[in-house]
Amino acid sequence: MSSRTLWRSLHLASRRRVALTETSYRCFSCSRQSLADPKSDHERMTHFGFSNVPESKKESMVGHVFSSVASSYDTMNDLMSLGIHRLWKDHFVRSLDPGSALPSRDGDNAGKGWNILDIAGGTGDIAFRMLDHATNINHDHNTRVTIADINAEMLAEGKKRSIETPYYNTDRLSFMQGNAEHMPSIPDNSVDLYTVVFGIRNFTDKQAALVEAHRVLKPGGVFACMEFSKVDNALFNAVYKNWSFSAIPLIGQLVAGDRESYQYLVESIEKFPSQEEFRGMIQKAGFMIPGRGFENLTGGIAAIHKGIKPLTKA
């Protein structure tokens, strides 16, 4: 008798478990479920935050996210990172030291000034920093930046801001709308420095973008990328994860009136490969890795990755 009740309770328990898996409960991203279309089997899938979407769809979904955050982009960044993102960006630009401090000599491969391509730099905060650094620190008035972004609204925001900089309407600053995985308008071996700051996370095919970066860079040119990454300290990681999954969507809701986009933001950070994996991807695209290949910022919340295109042996 008692064995029968035991069997029954076990049986029920197993049944309950089966029922749980059917609904595929995901604790952080219930809001995303409605966005995810029913999958079509024959199309390749990629992740959009925690949900899987067809590759063809991700671009427009990311586009939607950034269109909706473009206007409040800076305020939100300040609130979410407690202002630290400005320090990161300053450090990033300072470590790259854009602009030639030395006058170019005869027979140098390097032309006058650097040709910088800032991918996913719609609002221009990296581009303006680099131009400021080149002008004020290295006294180089020839270095020029092309800001490329897939999203017209982010570019419009950057154009609006550029009016207040001394580079507005000069040949040192230009804007270009395009997909970083395929940029036919940029010739091979033409770029000194390729930067992508907090952008590569949103690319549909990161490896393709890296290969494209390798194509447009001159031999000896540098690929530099700053992106959210993995925190190495378990205790700090717990605090950070709590902050990013509870506070950031809430701040997004209160300030920008858009919880969904910021929910996507934190999920996409979670999905991005670790420092070591991403370094492997950069190497796979054909870059040389300087030293360890990445530099952790604030315990690994963000990381700067660099790769150098090797000289072709003549």
Partner 1 sequence: MARPLLRPLRSCRNPLVYPLFCAPRISLIPATSAIPNQHNQLRRLSRDLPSHHRRLYHSQHHPDPPPHEYTNSQTTILTAALKHVPTHGFTRAALTLGARDTGFLDVSIQLLPRGEFDLILFWLASRRGLLRAAVEQNGLLKSPDSNLVSVEEKTIKLIMERLRMNTEINHQWQDALALMSLPSHIPLSLSELHALSSDILHLAGDASVDASWYTKRLSVSAIYASAEVVMTRDSSPDLAATEAFVTRRIEDSKAIGDKLTGVKQCLGFMGSTAVGLGRSWGLKI
Q: Which long-range contacts (C-beta less than 8 Å, at least 24 apart) are formed by 281-290?
A: 281/206, 281/207, 281/210, 282/210, 282/223, 282/225, 282/307, 283/307, 284/207, 284/210, 285/207, 285/210, 285/211, 285/213, 285/214, 286/211, 286/214, 286/310, 287/210, 287/214, 287/223
114: contact with partner 1 by CB under 8 A: yes
Rg (CA), the chain: 23
Number of residues that bind partner 1 (CB under 8 A): 28
d(CA 273, CA 253): 27
In the sheet with 302-308, reading across from the earlier edge strand, the strands are 173-177, 144-149, 115-119, 191-197, 217-228, 302-308, 294-297
Contact set for partner 1, span 192-221 (CB under 8 A): 192-193, 218-221
179 labelled binding-site residue: yes
Question: What's the closest the beta carbon of residue 101 comes to partner 1, in angstroms?
Answer: 7
Q: H or E element: which one contains 211?
A: helix 206-216
182: contact with partner 1 by CB under 8 A: no
Q: Which residue of 97, 188, 276, 277 would you call a contact of partner 1, by CB under 8 A?
A: 97
242 labelled binding-site residue: no
Contact set for partner 1, span 227-246 (CB under 8 A): none
298 labelled binding-site residue: no
Question: What's the closest the beta carbon of residue 219 comes to partner 1, in angstroms?
Answer: 8
308: contact with partner 1 by CB under 8 A: yes
Question: What's the closest the beta carbon of residue 107 comes to partner 1, in angstroms?
Answer: 9
Q: Which residue of 6, 30, 87, 101 would you call a contact of partner 1, by CB under 8 A?
A: 101
Q: Footprint of partner 1 on this chain (CB under 8 A)?
A: 96-98, 100-102, 105, 108-110, 114, 192-193, 218-222, 224, 288, 290-292, 295, 306, 308, 310-311
